[in-house]
Amino acid sequence: MMEQYFTREEALGFDEQDGLRSFRDEFYVKEEQVYLDGNSLGLLSKKAEKSTLDLLESWKEYGIGGWTEGDNSWFTLSESLGEKTAPLVGAKKNEVIVTGSITTNLHQMIASFYQPSNAKTKILADELNFPSDIYALQSQLQLKGYDPEEHLVKVRSSDHQTISLDAIKKAMTDEVALILLPSVLYRSGQLLPMKEIVEYAHKRDIIVGFDLAHSIGAVPHELHDWGVDFAVWCNYKYLNSGPGGTGGLFVHERHHGTVPGLKGWFGSNKERQFDMEHSFTPADGAGAYQIGTPHILSSASLIGSLAIFEDAGMIALREKSLSQTDYMLDLYEKYLSSYGFIVVTPLTHKDRGGHIALEHPEAARICKALKHQQVIPDFRAPNLIRLAPAALYTRYVDVFDAIMILKDIMEQKLYKEYPNTRNVIA
Ligand SMILES: *Cc1c(COP(=O)(O)O)cnc(C)c1O
């Protein structure tokens, strides 16, 4: 029977069969809302709330003693959270540290790994890269006396939304010293073939780093086995660590034991840190790349958040994520394809991250109309709508409801009631 397909009942049936459905109860989800913005700021979980309150309690209880006392003593919290993050990025325990933000971590990584020589001076990024990543590359080039106009090379996109492996390979000339690329492009949601990129780059003696902002918590990684040199990410998107949650970085063990570009006392070997000497002894692992006192309060939520990921498992989460974005695309084909949208997310699983991106000339006001009806999308100027069903707390019926509301908005042109401009935070 035709009617059983693409109905709300069908969606409810998918939810019943969903092995991860109970994780939704761990989160503060508003029942009247469909939250599809977990790729910008994930929702609060009860576990993250508890670990944050527990941390405050340890401050209350121990005062300065909290650095070494209690269940999550602050002195080693960044390291222990790094160990717990390691499975999400396919790293060894001491290859990961929780510290900084994407941008500050990127500054540290480039300051450490960009070592230009006479022949190799260029940094390769891509023209669709996130502005902050580009700013960091520009500053780091300037600090070493190079003009970014000449020494920052950006791989071109032929369709303004995706980057081809071929184009990346072609751009790896003899002059390139370092490559920084996103794992998943923040606009289109394209997942780049990290393993292939590293293989090709290393044959040319090029260091490779990735920004995992839009893949950590959505896509499994094998950073160690792929031989990635370094990676950076934030924890407030799919990892649900809250606004300003401390970020993370990965440094492959083959680079351990060297002095980072930006030294600070929290990068010290922990046994030596309080010797208070003016000569720096780096920590053995990725911890060496920390700078100052860790952002303990902003890391506390991650204790609870990572426990949820450990329970759910990244493989199962990826499977559900792909199934939900597939479902969204199917509903799109059925209900939305005649309204002038363009799907810019790759359709093949191996090239797709965790969100679906739709282009539309009226995107800004369509997003406003969606929000008015309690569907929370994400707008990226000038014309992009991003919809992220976060596998931990999004139901199939949420995906269904969101698409039906969007269909209604398009059919009745309800978006015309709103100005087609972006808000300050979009
Ligand atoms: C979210 C995001 C950032 C944000 O950087 P912060 O330093 O954490 O503010 C940077 N780059 C990309 C690709 C992002 O998606």
pLDDT tens-place values along the chain, 426 residues long: 456 799 999 999 999 999 999 999 999 999 999 999 999 999 999 999 999 999 999 999 999 999 999 999 999 999 999 999 999 999 999 999 999 999 999 999 999 999 999 899 999 999 999 999 999 999 999 999 999 999 999 999 999 999 999 999 999 999 999 999 999 999 999 999 999 999 999 999 999 999 999 999 999 999 999 999 999 999 999 999 999 999 999 999 999 999 999 999 999 999 998 988 999 999 999 999 999 999 999 999 999 999 999 999 999 999 999 999 999 999 999 999 999 999 999 999 999 999 999 999 999 999 999 999 999 999 999 999 999 999 999 999 999 999 999 999 999 999 999 998 888 877
Region label for 258, one of left (φ > 0), alpha (ψ between -120 and 50) or beta (otherwise): beta
Supply the pLDDT for residue 423: 81
Residue of 102, 107, 126, 235 best suited for mutating to test ligand 1, as the one with most atoms within 8 Å of CB: 102
Structural domain includes residue 101: yes
Structural domain includes residue 142: yes
Looking at residue 3, its pLDDT comes to 62
- Give yes or no for a contact between 297 and 42, defined as CB atoms under 8 angstroms apart: no
CATH of residue 342 = 3.90.1150.10
Q: What's the pLDDT score for residue 425?
A: 76
pLDDT of residue 421: 85
**What local confidence, expressed as pLDDT, does residue 218 receive?**
98
**The domain boundary residue, chosen from 286, 311, 336:** 311
37 domain-assigned? no
Ligand 1 centre to CA of 1 (Å) is: 47
Please state the domain count of the chain: 2
* Same domain assignment for residues 290 and 341: no
Rounded Cα gap, residues 247 and 89, in angstroms? 13
Give the residue from 277, 296, 311 where a domain finishes: 311
How far, in Å, CA of 409 to CA of 117, rounded? 56
- How many C-beta atoms lie closer than 10 Å to residue 414's C-beta? 18
> Does 15 map to a domain?
yes
For strands 342-343 and 356-359, give the pairing: antiparallel
The residue segments making up the domain with residue 359 are 8-32+313-417
State pTM to two decimals. Answer: 0.97
What pLDDT, on the 0 to 100 scale, is given for residue 292?
97
CA-40 nearest atom, ligand 1: 1
User: CATH no. for residue 264?
Assistant: 3.40.640.10
Residue that terminates a domain, selected from 293, 311, 329: 311
Judge if 78 and 130 occupy the same domain: yes
Which of 362, 410, 398, 426 shows the shortest CA–CA distance to 29?
398
Which residues line ligand 1 at a C-beta cut-off of 6 Å?
A: 101-103, 130, 132-133, 182, 186, 211, 213-214, 234, 247
Domain assignment present for residue 40? The answer is: no
Q: Are 298 and 107 in contact (CB under 8 A)?
A: no
Residue with CA closest to ligand 1 atom 11: 130
Q: Are residues 329 and 408 in the same domain?
A: yes
Q: Answer yes or no: do 253 and 383 share one domain.
A: no
Measured distance between the N- and C-terminal CA atoms of the chain, rounded to whole angstroms: 42
Up-side HSE of residue 358: CA atoms within 13 Å toward CB?
24
Note whether residue 38 is domain-resident.
Answer: no
Report pLDDT for 325: 98
Task: Identify the CA nearest to 394 among candidates 1, 5, 21.
Answer: 21
Q: Are residues 17 and 62 in the same domain?
A: no
Q: Same domain for 226 and 286?
A: yes
Per DSSP, 268 falls in state B
Angle CA 122–127–128, to nearest 5: 135
Q: Same domain, yes or no, for 247 and 107? A: yes
Structural contact between residues 357 and 185, judged by C-beta atoms closer than 8 angstroms: no
Q: Which of 135, 186, 188, 355 to mutate to test the pocket of ligand 1 (most atoms within 8 A of CB)?
A: 186
Contact 422/364 with Cβ under 8 angstroms?
yes
CA angle 54, 30, 235 (to 5 degrees): 50
Residue 425 lies in a domain: no
Nearest alpha carbon to residue 320 among 391, 240, 217, 237 = 391
Q: CA 329 → CA 12, 245, 322, 358, distances in Å?
A: 17, 31, 10, 10
Q: Which helix (H) or strand (E) holds 231?
A: strand 230-233
As a dihedral over the C-alpha atoms of residue 263, residue 265, residue 270, residue 275, rounded to 10 degrees, the angle is 120
Token couple for 146 = 């190079």
- Inside any domain, residue 423: no
Are 303 and 341 part of one and the same domain?
A: no
CA distances from 92 to 83, 195, 362 (A): 8, 17, 46
Cα of 96 vs centre of ligand 1, distance in Å, is: 18
**Within this chain, do residues 317 and 214 fall inside the same structural domain, yes or no?**
no
Instruction: Pinpoint the alpha helices (H) of 172-312.
Output: 194-203, 223-226, 270-273, 296-312
Q: Which helix (H) or strand (E) holds 180?
A: strand 176-182
The H or E element spanning position 358 is strand 356-359
Same domain, 386 and 357: yes
Give the span between the Cα atoms of 152 and 333, in whole angstroms. Answer: 40
Is the domain of 306 the same as that of 326?
no
Quick check: 230 and 249 in contact, CB under 8 A?
yes
Atom of ligand 1 nearest to the CA of 186: 15
Are residue 173 and residue 208 in the same domain, yes or no? yes
